[in-house]
Structure 1
Amino acid sequence: MNPSFNFKDAETYLDSLLVFGIKLGLENMVSLNQLLGDPASSLKFIHVAGTNGKGSTCAMIATACKYSGLKTAFYSSPYLVNFLERWRINGTPIQEELYLEAIQEIMLIEDQLIEITGVKPTYFEVLTAAALIIFQKEKCELVVWETGMGGRLDATNIVNPLMSIITNIAMDHGSYLGETIEEVASEKAGIIKANTPFICGELDPKLKSIFAQKAQKSSQYYMDTDFLSHRQGTDIQYQGTHELNYKLRLLGDHQVSNSSIAIKALEVLEDQGILESAIIAAKGIQYAHWPGRIQELPNQIYVDGAHNPAAMEKLSHCFTGKKFTVLCGMMEDKDIKATLKKLAPICKNFIAIPINIPRAIQAETLADIAKETLNCPCSFQNNWETCINNIEGKVLITGSLYLSGEVLSKLAPDSALRCDILE
């Protein structure tokens, strides 16, 4: 390896791959894994897909498994503050040296890959291959493996996992995954494997039937009738193979549902002999932290990355009866009107703000859409930092995880690095 190769060099290489955009398909990733010595076959994966909630569910599983003593890796996207957040081991981003070594390994076999497939790897394929290299090198005992955008053709779908999990389905990324919610569900269902347990968090009967059909070849299929969590005072009660009470640090009733999926995963790991006790591991869920998701900061400021109608509805439900000045930035390709309608019940004043990436909608344009959608004062500002200093009362910053990352990088950078508060 080249000792002078640095983070900027790696960034330049990855940026050169962005011109190839998003390419759904597994041929490149399969060949890439083989050229790297098949690290995927030496690791144990929990593969998690879903439109919303998959990151929180992964964070709970990863924290619980770390709490139980397993060296646990967690691959996720996007990052909020530090690029190395994408690869966590025992809740902490990896060291830069590991990342740089992995990128160089991939660059060394790129020409061979092009000979086989005819094309360069995509940005996400390289990040996914880097995860395989890093987690194998670090001898991780378990990998919580979050999909990128889809399922069936997602680069993460080359692994043979211990189990597959789908949290829920909503419309998002329609141009890639389908124009109907049933088509999106079918794409996500592509992570379900034969002879492998499958946990389904979706409650819609028509979507559950799609998963049930796909899961006929799986060895075990668990859905909402097999596991359930509900609030009981200040605690949460879980009923599944085991019954237990626990607490959650994460805010929102939807996290109760996500936690039930996480505990069911722990029960499957116990059945497989990976965990000695699901009950002991589940105690670790109370320490799970997932930054930028209904995260409370000082001075009555809340940050959440809700970027589609389903996520925004859950956010609004969490704050029923409360009103906020909302600072909002969104991506231009999202269902903006439908998302803002879900925001309406908790919004007393709407301020559109820009996000510094090409896909973001202009703040002035977002404010115009909000005026047509919300029954409250709507305006735009050029800078959220200047704006926030002039607001009294509760503030909610939402609309995009990219915006959450911008805010946390200034107001609470350390909180974005960990997915637990165990240490």
Structure 2
Amino acid sequence: MNYDEALSYINDKSKFGSKLGLASIGKLLEKLGNPQDGLKIIHLAGTNGKGSTSAYLSNCIMEAGYSVGSFTSPFLERFNERISLNGRDIPDEDLAKFTVKIRTAANEMIEDGLEHPTTFEIVTALAFLYYNQEDPDYVVLEVGLGGRFDSTNIIRESLCSIITTIDYDHINELGDTLEKIAYQKAGIIKKDGLVISYPQKEEVVKVLKDVSKDMGAELIFSTEDIEVVEKTDYGSKFNYEFNGIQLNNIKTSMIGEYQIYNATLAVTALLVLKEKGLIQIKNEDIYNGIFNTKWKGRLEILKRDPIFLIDGAHNLQGIEKLSGVLKLFKYKKLILGLSILKDKDVDSMLDYLMPLADIVISTEVSIARKLSAEKLADKIKKYDKEIFVEKNIKEAVLKSIELADKDDMIVFGGSLYLIGEVRTIVNLL
């Protein structure tokens, strides 16, 4: 099996979907020798901020001289991005090699009368096999969806469970109230474990406290003792205090005030792990790790003159943050390229974005859950904006550049599936 054949096997549409419970991934990993056992795992769940918090953690840990694996989802441009080690994607040959092993195990499951593992179960198994082979000092493991029944939650223990901000998303799978969603996210909390969370809404805090108590886990919240020193379209500077430890003038290269909060959650986790003797890390490592962190597709500026920004905001909370960040920039016209999946709160997302846009280009991604460019444009018409419909994403990008003067700003967002393709197109221009 070569690399392309491995991707074809992984992405076979017959494997899409999800299974309630961990029995399937458990059986698959058992047949593979339980490669997840023995890994030192930092496990993350939450609605927003998982990706950048994971990136902050990984970079700080690497600055301290450790090797670290990072499992994230989805990928933006290339599948291998999902499984990385010390900032380098899994090699094609390892991906193909381990996919052969997984296919053999999956076929044995079918012979046993079980269902075939899903795509995400296969990808999770791939990550565990790779990290078992490479034996990194730490693995930063990001949940795919929810937490309680997510394939990554097959792990028996973790160094800590980190809960990023929780809000409404995937309500069909996770529940239609914050309490229900929080209960699913809190499913990653382990018995007698350690839990670290950013301060949450009151109903979410109650769920985290209840689940932590039931599991005998220690729950620690990062503090709100944050002093924002500077916010620009090049990054931020802030002071942070936790448990009597004062860190001044922490700089982040990622844009947006919410990135400060994601950074403080990562810093809190590292300080707590250090206090408990689970990691050795200096303040200097934290400073360097935070500053050197980049996260593709999250408020990322691809070009300037004109400014071309992409953002993976794909739910209401993310769109609110994007709207706030745009105020940091100076521009004459805002040209907005947009694609949104039909199972999102499209109308509320548009209510935030449309007042900021001068011109809107409606486009669409190539997945079944897409809202067609025409239907999205129909929803935008009521905002009395100049609208262009370009179903092809490359044509949408070229149209935005054609319409923009050097002192304008182009923004593409609304879906992670959109911005990966946009990123590739713009970087090739």
Could you state the TM-score of these two structures normalised by the residue count of structure 2?
A: 0.91
Counterpart position of 1:350: 360
The worse-fitting range, judged by mean Cα deviation, of 251-260 and 349-358 is 349-358
Q: Name the CA distance, whole Å, in 1 between partners of 2:174 and 2:221.
A: 23
SS of the equivalent of 1:390 reads helix
Could you tell me which residue of structure 1 aligns to residue 105 of structure 2?
109
Q: Distance in 1 between matches of 2:207 and 2:225?
A: 21
Distance 1:89 1:240 in 2: 29
Quote the Cα distance in structure 2 between the aligned partners of 1:389 and 1:318: 21
**Residues 198 and 221 of structure 1 are in contact (CA less than 8 Å); yes or no, is this contact kept in structure 2?**
yes
Partners of 2:397 and 2:426 within 8 A in 1? no
94-103 or 122-131, which deviates more: 94-103
Name whichever of 68-77 and 18-27 sits farther off: 18-27
- Partner of residue 244, structure 1: 247
Q: Deviations over 1:176-211 (max 9, x none)?
A: 111222211111111111211101124211111111
Structure 1 position 166 matched with structure 2 position 163: yes
Is 2:399 the counterpart of 1:387? yes
SS at match of 1:230: strand
Q: Partner residue of 1:264?
A: 268
Q: Aligned residues: percent identity?
A: 33
Structure 1 letter corresponding to 2:195: F
Matching residue within 172, 187, 198 for 2:195 = 198
- Aligned with 2:83 (options 83, 87, 90): 87
User: 2: distance between equivalents of 1:319 and 1:252?
Assistant: 9
The alpha-carbon deviation at position 336 of structure 1 amounts to: 0.7
Preserved contact between residue 270 and residue 276 of structure 1 (Cα < 8 Å): yes
1:364 paired with 2:374, answer yes
Which residues of structure 1 form unaligned runs of 5+? Answer: 414-423
Residues 37, 228 of structure 1: alpha-carbon distance in 2 compared, 3 angstrom cutoff: farther
Q: 1:132 to 1:324 in 2, by over 3 A?
A: same
**Partners of 1:84 and 1:133 in 2: how far apart?**
14
Q: 1:122 to 1:138 in 2, by over 3 A?
A: same
Structure 2: runs of 5 or more not aligned: 231-235
Pair 1:117–1:238, CA change in 2 (3 A): farther
For the structure 1 residues 22 and 377, does the alpha-carbon distance in structure 2 shift closer, same or farther, using more than 3 Å as the test? same
Structure 1 residue 358: Cα displacement: 2.6
Q: 2:59, 2:113 → 1: CA distance?
A: 38
The partner residue of 1:320 within 315, 327, 344 is 327
Between 68-77 and 388-397, report the one with greater CA deviation: 388-397
Does the CA-based 8 Å contact 1:230-1:237 persist in structure 2?
yes
Q: Which residue of 1 aligns with 2:308?
A: 301
The 8 Å contact of residues 166 and 200 in structure 1, kept in 2 or not, is answered as yes
The residue type equivalent to 2:337 in the other structure is L
CA–CA separation in structure 1 for the residues paired with 2:66 and 2:216? 26
- Structure 1: distance between partners of 2:293 and 2:113: 41
Bigger mean CA offset, 97-106 vs 266-275: 266-275
TM-score, normalization by structure 1: 0.92
State whether residues 327 and 352 of structure 1, in contact with CA within 8 Å, keep that contact through their aligned partners in structure 2: yes
Letter in 1 for 2:313: A
Q: Number of aligned residue pairs: give it.
A: 407
| One-letter amino acid of the structure 1 residue matched with residue 237 of structure 2 | D
User: 4+ runs of 1 displaced by more than 4 Å?
Assistant: none
Alignment of 1:14-413 (within 5 A): 14-16=10-12, 18-115=14-111, 118-159=114-155, 160-216=157-213, 217-225=215-223, 228-233=225-230, 235-241=237-243, 242-245=245-248, 246-283=250-287, 284-298=289-303, 299-320=306-327, 324-372=334-382, 374-382=383-391, 383-392=395-404, 393-412=408-427
Contact persistence 1:63–1:285 (CA under 8 A): yes
Task: Check whether the contact 1:320–1:346 (CA below 8 A) recurs between aligned residues.
Answer: no
The DSSP-based 3-state class of the residue aligned with 1:247 is strand
Q: What amino acid is the match of 2:362?
A: A
5-14 or 320-329, which moves further after superposition?
A: 320-329
Flag the 1:268–1:375 CA change in 2: closer, same or farther, 3 A.
Answer: farther
Q: SS of 1:43's equivalent? A: coil
Letter paired with 1:166: I
| Contact map agreement 1:267 1:278 (CA 8 A) in 2 | no
Which AA in structure 1 matches 2:27?
S
